Structure 1
Amino acid sequence: MLETKKFSPPKQRAFDARFEAQKIAFGPVVFHCVHYAWKRGILEALGDAGERGITLDELEATGRWSRYALKLVLESCLSAGVVLIEASRWQLDKAGFCLISDDITRVNFDFIHDVCYQGLFELERSLDAGKPLGLAHLGDWPSIYPVLSELPEPAKSSWFAFDHHYSDTSFPDILPDVFATAPKRLMDIGANTGKFTRAALNYDAQVELHLVDLPQQLAVAEANLLAEGLRERAQLHARNLLDPDAALPAGMDLVWMSQFLSCFGEAEIASIFRRVAACLADGGQVLVMDTFWDRQRYDIAAYCLINTSPYFTAMASGNSKVYESGDYIRLAEAAGLRLLTARDGIGYCHSLLRFARA
């Protein structure tokens, strides 16, 4: 699949390719102009005006924006296909409607602006050092994962909105897969706020959940479990899985990992797979749900996922990314697991890999 993946139109003309190159060069400028127009209500005003449109004089007369600001940002939005102008009247174009009405566009835009943008200036240094040096723009921490609940606003809200928007759409679809083998002891590695754990406990009244994560995240998950009266059937196991000697509780019928392994480099993923294989009960299985860019039906999904990878470099860990599915399969097999099934098309862009001991 990778050999045939191509995002540009077939036989693209040199002139068109040059235009695309200029869009890349000026991309940060357009991003900030569109952000201003969106967040300061200009796009909303155009949307309210409908097909009739609205003149610059009418927009200026509201007193909300200077004429200079209106001309500057609207012209940039025009160049990006966000707005259009006919007979001196400004209107939303299709991309503009997406910005003000499409949830996934909003979530992606806020995540890049609030969490990533300043830190991505440190991408080059982060790639060279193998450390998330851009995170310093949010706080003085070596990694983002232990401090997710401490991120400053609006970065905190935008991070969780991004994470949950992609994962939450998948949970209702995958619970039958999770319980297909009738597991009694189920381990949720990378439990985060406990959303999957709560969904699983509500789905099966008999299952026992084991949550594995950093202490800070488990505290959040525990509070959520207590609020729903589910704490009694959940056991918490604080682990730093970057420590190769941090063993996992044994005897698990099923181990679940969702959007978790992409937080690590390949050597760390290999170590986690080895410990997961060792913790399985006889006949136990492993389910890995993640967003593999090479298994997407549409280029738009692959594009978004590929360009999420620099966040992991500059802000999160310094050595992780959105992986191809073959990377996980190769590392799992090296750890003594074998792939049983792969299912795509879950939620927005997830795939589910099922493994057992080889």
Structure 2
Amino acid sequence: MRKRSRTPEIIEAMSRAQQIAFGPFVFAACVSAKRLGMLKVLGQSGGLTREELAERMHLSPYGVKVLADMLVPAGVLRSEAGKLFLTKVGECLEWDPLTGVNLDFTADVCFKPLAHLEEAIREERPAGLSEFGPWPTVYEAMPHLPPQVLASWLRFDHYYSETAFREALKHLAGLAPRRILDIGGNTGRFCELALKALPQASVTLIDLPGQCAMARSNAALAGLGERFATAPVDWLDPEAMPETGGPADLIWMSQFLDCFSPDECRSILARAQRLLAPDGTIAILECILDNQDYEAAHMSLAATSLYFTAVANGNSRFFRRDELAAILADSGLDIEREIHPIGASHTLFLCRSAREDGAC
């Protein structure tokens, strides 16, 4: 490294650079401290010596000390008068639900696969998915993922979608849809909420065969008869069309388009319009990268885009607003209404087909 004068700016830059260089160590120490119970014990105790903490946790003093040596400079713990205390950052890691689902998602779903990120970027394929098995994308892999990986993935997905779904349904109720297609419906959580909120409606979930099977096994959707159905399809086949039994008043896509490349999105949207009734609506719920109110939200979305790269599919990311708008316009869709925020970080786009021959 070139010799430089140690100005405050250079010292700050060097400090930040070391935080990045050793970032994986900080993360691993935080996950271990939380899962071993160290953060909880400290938070409930009001401060303990390292020896007292080791005794409470039934760990060796070495184990406690090596974690504390990392977590004090990381700002997770504070050392004062020979005792360790939990900081506000540590409290967030231990008790904040949002931080918890993010931490588990990163630790269980992403941490090992991210070692393959360079390969994934070079080849535009989810190279990190090989850590779990030989699938082309995470969507085929979903029913076969290790239990802890799947559980952390579902908690992450449901935490952000739950509130957004409930808020979005308040806006969709005004459309009074009788027939809904949930494209990319995954486990069927939106279907479940929609069927409760819209008693006049029926919903068909459209997804890969494995996801359709998972949704049919959802106890909350069982026994609904003709109000709930599934239609398997692989949208990556450019000729594929699901058998839906007729046109829909409303097509719902929640964080679905961000799972595909722009060209794949255009192909899917063109085919989806063939499933739409005249004057029907396509409702698209997405997290827009440059439409976030907090820096931490922007960073979280950017990080999740790297999950798409290394684990999910290798070629998708969260869109910026102008990127998604261009895709919708290219696909013959007009944005009639745009609602933000929906939930913690989503935007709802209500669209209609601009093509005269776009509906069935």
Q: Give the TM-score category using the shorter length.
A: over 0.9
Which residue in the other structure is 2:74 paired with? 80
Which of 156, 165, 168 is the aligned partner of 2:162? 168
Whole-Å separation in 2 of the counterparts to 1:282 and 1:294: 33
Q: Contact 1:313/1:321 (CA < 8 Å) preserved in 2?
A: yes
> RMSD over aligned Cα, in angstroms?
1.5
- Number of positions where the alignment pairs a residue of Structure 1 with one of Structure 2: 345
Q: Report the AA paired with residue 296 of structure 2.
A: I
Which of 6, 23, 31 is the aligned partner of 1:27? 23
Which of 331, 338, 344 is the aligned partner of 1:342? 338
Q: Report the AA paired with residue 48 of structure 1.
A: Q
Which residue in the other structure is 1:242 paired with? 236
Task: Say if 2:347 is the partner of 1:326.
Answer: no
Q: Contact 2:308/2:315 (CA < 8 Å) preserved in 1?
A: yes
Which residue in the other structure is 2:192 paired with? 198
TM-score by length of 2: 0.92
Q: Secondary structure at the match of 1:219?
A: helix
Which of 208, 213, 235 is the aligned partner of 2:207? 213
1:198 deviation in Å?
Answer: 1.2
* Gap regions ≥5 residues in structure 2: 1-7, 355-360
The aligned runs of 1:82-97 (5 Å cut-off) are 82-97=76-91
Q: Report the AA paired with residue 345 of structure 2.
A: C
Which residue in the other structure is 2:65 paired with? 71
Which of 306, 314, 317 is the aligned partner of 2:313? 317
Which residue in the other structure is 2:95 paired with? 101
Q: Report the AA paired with residue 240 of structure 1.
A: D
Whole-Å separation in 2 of the counterparts to 1:14 and 1:356: 53
Task: Say if 2:104 is the partner of 1:110.
Answer: yes
Whole-Å separation in 2 of the counterparts to 1:210 and 1:60: 54
Whole-Å separation in 2 of the counterparts to 1:179 and 1:229: 23
Which residue in the other structure is 2:276 paired with? 280
Which of 260, 265, 268 is the aligned partner of 1:264? 260
Q: After superposition, give the CA deviation of every residue in 1:11-38 in whole Å (9 maximum; x if it has no partner).
A: x944323322211111001111111111
Q: Secondary structure at the match of 2:48?
A: coil
Moved more, 159-168 or 16-25: 16-25
Moved more, 84-93 or 207-216: 207-216
Whole-Å separation in 1 of the counterparts to 2:95 and 2:232: 40
Whole-Å separation in 1 of the counterparts to 2:296 and 2:312: 24
Task: Say if 2:200 is the partner of 1:185.
Answer: no
Q: After superposition, give the CA deviation of every residue in 1:95-124 in whole Å (9 maximum; x if it has no partner).
A: 100011001111001111101111110011
Whole-Å separation in 2 of the counterparts to 1:227 and 1:324: 34
Q: Secondary structure at the match of 1:180?
A: helix
1:167 deviation in Å?
Answer: 0.4
1:149 deviation in Å?
Answer: 2.1
Q: Report the AA paired with residue 168 of structure 2.
A: I
Whole-Å separation in 2 of the counterparts to 1:307 and 1:227: 33
Identity in percent: 38
Whole-Å separation in 1 of the counterparts to 2:160 and 2:202: 25
Q: Secondary structure at the match of 2:175?
A: coil
Q: Report the AA paired with residue 133 of structure 2.
A: G
Q: Secondary structure at the match of 1:294?
A: coil
Q: Secondary structure at the match of 1:79?
A: coil
1:60 deviation in Å?
Answer: 2.7
Q: Contact 1:273/1:331 (CA < 8 Å) preserved in 2?
A: no
Which of 22, 40, 46 is the aligned partner of 1:44? 40
* Gap regions ≥5 residues in structure 1: 1-11
Whole-Å separation in 2 of the counterparts to 1:281 and 1:265: 26
Q: Contact 1:192/1:221 (CA < 8 Å) preserved in 2?
A: yes
Whole-Å separation in 2 of the counterparts to 1:204 and 1:93: 45
Q: Report the AA paired with residue 347 of structure 1.
A: G
Whole-Å separation in 2 of the counterparts to 1:232 and 1:247: 21
Q: Secondary structure at the match of 1:321?
A: coil
Whole-Å separation in 2 of the counterparts to 1:99 and 1:62: 20
TM-score by length of 1: 0.93
Q: Contact 2:286/2:348 (CA < 8 Å) preserved in 1?
A: yes
Q: Report the AA paired with residue 316 of structure 2.
A: S
1:64 deviation in Å?
Answer: 1.6
Which residue in the other structure is 2:152 paired with? 158
Whole-Å separation in 2 of the counterparts to 1:206 and 1:63: 55
Whole-Å separation in 2 of the counterparts to 1:45 and 1:181: 51
Cα 1:49–1:273 change in 2 (3 A) is same
Moved more, 257-266 or 58-67: 58-67
Cα 1:207–1:36 change in 2 (3 A) is same
Cα 1:77–1:105 change in 2 (3 A) is same
Q: Report the AA paired with residue 54 of structure 1.
A: L
Q: Secondary structure at the match of 1:179?
A: helix
Which residue in the other structure is 2:302 paired with? 306
1:227 deviation in Å?
Answer: 5.1
